[in-house]
Each structure stands twice: as structure tokens, then as C-alpha cells.
Amino acid sequence: MPRLEDHCACTSKHISGAKWFIHKAEEMMSIITSMLSQAYGSLHDIRTANLIRRGLVLFTVGAILALVLNLLQIQRNVTLFPEEVMTTLFSSAWWIPPCCGTGAAVVGLLYPCLDSHLGEPHKFKREWASVMRCMAVFVGINHASVKLDIDNNIQLSLTLAALSLGLWWTFDRSRSGFGLGITTAFLATVISQVLVYNGVYQYTSPDFLYVRSWLPCIFFSGGVTVGNIGRQLAMGGVEKLHND
């Protein structure tokens, strides 16, 4: 009998030891799960804040570029705003910078997402100096659209198309950039056609339905430029995230 009691006591000790170990393991798993949840929540908050920050920067850049380039076209009498429109809600064309800023934010945020989705590696070392040169070329293309004294609109359009493709080839050279640039040019041109058709503003010497035939080239090069800015901002956000 004593031996049986000793055996039962040993068994009880083993069972209690196993329960203690299981309890401690559950506590450790609970702590690890809690830490992972907090880390994921913190990472999610950082990514959300980074996304908002990038969107605000892109919106600001797009709004400023739209304001400057639109004033340039108005001064050169490329775009005209009728008096009856200037006295309505669209007075002074205040809506152009925020609309273009919103479009720039959408396009600039889509570019790195498409790159990640397609798994397309960057062909160039991204740096802000390259992005600034791309912006300068884009402004130059816009300036050429109103300054070049070419009577034939088709010839001017072909010239600007070549310059826009050159901008893409020099600073981008990716399928996602080309595809999104084409999509941006198409949608922006359709929206411009609708606005001109409804009398919001008009173009002098329209030769592509209600707008100028070189307008899609401007939108294409603008999409590529904003995309490069978005990519550079995304790369900076990733590096900061890794450092954190």
C-alpha cells in the first residue's frame, strides 16, 4: 500500500507539473499574441499616416502645378473662360487646382501600388534630383505647347507627343507607368471634353472635338511626372518604416 500511495503521489506531482507548464505556455502565447497585435496596430498606424502624408504632398504639388500652368495658358489665350461662367460658381476657375491636386494624389499613390502588384523592378536609381528634372521637363513641355509658333496643330501635337514619350523613356521606362499615363491622358481628356461641351471654358482653335489635339500629351506627361513623385515618396516612406 505505501508503494501505491507513493506512486499516486508521484503521478499527482507529474500532473500538476504538466498543468503548470501548460498554464505558463498559455501565458507566454497570450503575451506574444498581444505584442504581435500591438506591433501590427502600430505598423498599420504608421502606414496609414505615411499614406496620408504622401497624398497631401501629391495634392499640393498637383494643385500648384495646375495653378501655374493654367495661368500660363490663360495669358497666352489658349484657354478662355466666358464671362457668364466667370460670374457663376466656377468664378476665377478656383476649382482647377483642387481637382488637379486630387487627380495627382490618386495617380501618384497608384503608381507604387501597380509597381508592387506587377512586381516590376525599377530600372533606375530613384533620387529626388531625377524627379526634379522630370518636373522641369514637364513644365517645359507645357511651356512649349503655348509658346511654339506652329500653325499646324497636328504637327504641334506630334512634336509634343514625341517629347512626352521622351519624358517617359528618360525618367520612367516601365509598363505600369506607360499604361497608367495612357489611362490618365484618356480620362482627363474625356473630362475636359465634357467641361468644354458644357461651356465651363473653351480652347482657341480646337481641332480634336472641343479641345486641342495636343492636350492628351500634356496629361500623359503629367501622369508620368506625378507618378515619379509618388514612387519617390513611397521609397522614402519604406526606408523610414524600416528604420523605425
Give the DSSP letter string of 108-171: HHHHHHHHHHHTPPPSS---HHHHHHHHHHHHHHHHHHHH---S-HHHHHHHHHHHHHHHHHHH
- Pairing between β-strand 202-203 and β-strand 79-80 as defined by DSSP bridges: antiparallel
3-state helix, strand, coil in the chain (%, to 5): 80, 0, 20
Query: In this structure, is residue 87 part of a structural domain?
Result: yes
Range of the domain at 51: 46-243
Query: In this structure, is residue 31 part of a structural domain?
Result: no
Structurally, the chain folds into a number of domains equal to 1
pLDDT in tens, the chain (244 residues): 444 444 444 555 555 555 665 666 666 666 666 665 665 555 556 778 888 889 999 999 999 998 888 877 777 666 666 655 445 544 456 778 898 999 999 999 998 888 877 766 555 556 888 899 999 999 999 888 877 766 677 888 888 899 999 999 999 888 888 999 999 999 999 998 888 888 777 777 777 777 788 889 999 999 999 999 999 998 875 554 444 4
Query: In this structure, is residue 60 part of a structural domain?
Result: yes
Query: In this structure, is residue 24 part of a structural domain?
Result: no
Query: In this structure, is residue 118 part of a structural domain?
Result: yes
Residue with cell 512586381: 119
pTM exceeds 0.85 for this model: no
Query: In this structure, is residue 4 part of a structural domain?
Result: no
Q: Which three cell numbers stand for residue 94?
A: 478656383
Tally: H helices and E strands in the chain: 7, 2
Query: In this structure, is residue 2 part of a structural domain?
Result: no
- Which element (helix H / strand E) includes 80? strand 79-80
Query: In this structure, is residue 62 part of a structural domain?
Result: yes
pLDDT at 50 (0 to 100): 86
* Type of residue found at 40: Y
pLDDT at 4 (0 to 100): 45
**Cα–Cα distance measured from residue 127 to residue 131, given in angstroms and rounded to the nearest whole number:** 7
